[in-house]
Amino acid sequence: MGYMDMDKEAPLKRQLPYPYNQDLSKVLRHLHRRTDFSRVKLANEPATAALLAAAIRLVDRHIGPNAERNRTRHDDEQSVERPLLDFLSGHDVAREAAKNPHPFPRASYGMFRTTWETQADFIADLISFGLWSAQYPSTQHDDDVLAAGSEELVEGENLVRAVHALAYWDSSTVYSLPSFRLGLVAALAAEGDPVILEAVAESYRGGLAPWKQLYAEFLAARELQLRPGLTVDDLASLLSAMAEGVLTRAMGDPTSNVIDHGRQRSLLGTGALAVIYACLERAEDATGLTLEQAVQAMVYDRSDR
């Protein structure tokens, strides 16, 4: 029996905006409940969604984009607070949840403590929720752009244009998501905390799954294959790492133009094309060389020698 069948507050749950109206039991793994039944029920309580929504607003406010910054010294405009995760204490989240807008219910610190046993459990679930929700388009326009870009990548007539368009959409969209920044900050702040680190790792794995499926469809439709020794997992991890690097550079140096809004291009597109050129071959005339062997041959196997 699903949550919607067993909870009397299901109508309120359905009124919540996406993704809070979805089944959250698949991403909230650290709730203070012993049985699967009670954990699923708590994951889908409107009050749980209310606490998550309040925390996401705090993330947006404190780490951006366009975060609010308080001065640590009133006589120095450059002295600002640079919090990591201190702003996500149970008391701070509860205070923010007490100001929740409609249709979210208001939630208290008592609700927070009965939902998560420790602060690490809460942070782990918030990371899982934030990065999970970031995997999916938040508007119909985003959904349409992603669907059209994926279709063009797999079977369109201009592959290069498709790669640049999809890479720009991904870079510019994810750059604006507070949840992406939360993941970066959490990875730094959670060193030595296995609960939070596992949540970050699991979110990476979940985020790569739909991209791996798209890449596999792309290879099959374009009659391409990976060089020996490389897998679709490697391809997805490499492109994900490149995307994260581009976004981190854009945050650290906004003047770098690694995301070019004027041309609607990003350095991720250039990198993706380089990966395609270096790591893939046409299946019908593949050389069978590994990436290392191909580079070695390019540099040293000269016809004029």
pLDDT tens, position by position, 189-237: 666 667 777 777 777 777 788 899 999 999 999 999 999 999 999 999 9
pTM of this prediction? 0.69
Residue with tokens 């809460």: 122
Please state whether 7 falls in left (phi above 0), alpha (psi between -120 and 50) or beta.
Answer: beta
Q: How far is CA 149 from CA 34, 49, 100, 156, 174, in A?
A: 43, 32, 36, 9, 16
Domains and CATH numbers, the chain: 3-133 (no CATH), 139-300 (1.10.357)
pLDDT at 134: 55
Q: Would you state the pLDDT for residue 3? A: 41
* Upstream peptide bond of 210 is cis (omega within 30 degrees of 0): no
Among candidate residues 211, 14, 251, 43, the one with its CA nearest the CA of residue 128:
43
Separation of alpha carbons 33 and 43, rounded Å:
10
